[in-house]
Amino acid sequence: MTSRFQPGHPGGIITKQCRDAFKANSPKRRGPNSPYWKGFSKTQGYKTIAVQGEDGLWKHRLEHVVIAEKVLGRRLGKNEVVHHIDGDRKNNRNDNLLLCSIGYHRQLHEKMALLYQIEHFRRKPDAA
């Protein structure tokens, strides 16, 4: 029977049998069950799908990018991004996606942020 020293465990030794029993009875500590969970994923709320690459390997890619590339018939250029028109990162309908340059995309978000601030934080002119 294999054992190893485990500080804080009664007797300082934890056996393989004890460790296996603990793992079997403890829930998976991933995602929301993890003590380090912060409420977001690595993809920042975007849907991902598994696609087979040209090399035959399966890779996870952003779904909205794959949809745009399928419509275009080519991969996105280095200066191109896909923008969600309604701001919902999970709404990947074709009519909600806009292909734009990185610069235009930045301008879009700056304008949207300004309009949001005006709408929510600045006093609107009184109607006379």
Question: Is 98 within the bounds of a domain?
Answer: yes
Mean of per-residue pLDDT scores for the chain: 79
- Alpha carbon distance 18, 116 (integer Å): 56
Q: Is residue 56 part of a domain?
A: no
pTM of this structure: 0.60
The percentage of residues in the chain with a pLDDT greater than 90, rounded to a whole number, is 36
Which range (10-24, 62-76, 89-103) has the least confidence? 10-24
Average pLDDT over residues 40-46: 71
Look at residue 44 and tell me if it is in a domain: no
The verdict on residue 72 lying in a domain is yes
**29 in any annotated domain:** yes
- CA 92, 95, 96, 101 dihedral sign is positive
Does 89 reside within a domain? Answer: yes
Domain match, 27 and 68 both: no
Its domain, for residue 24, covers 3-33
Confirm whether 126 is domain-assigned.
no
In a domain, 50, yes or no: no
Average pLDDT over residues 83-90: 91
Beta-carbon count within 10 A of 81 CB: 19
Please tell me the predicted confidence (pLDDT) of residue 128.
47
Pick 120 or 15 by higher pLDDT.
120
- The torsion of the CA quartet 24, 30, 34, 36, rounded to 10 degrees, works out to 140
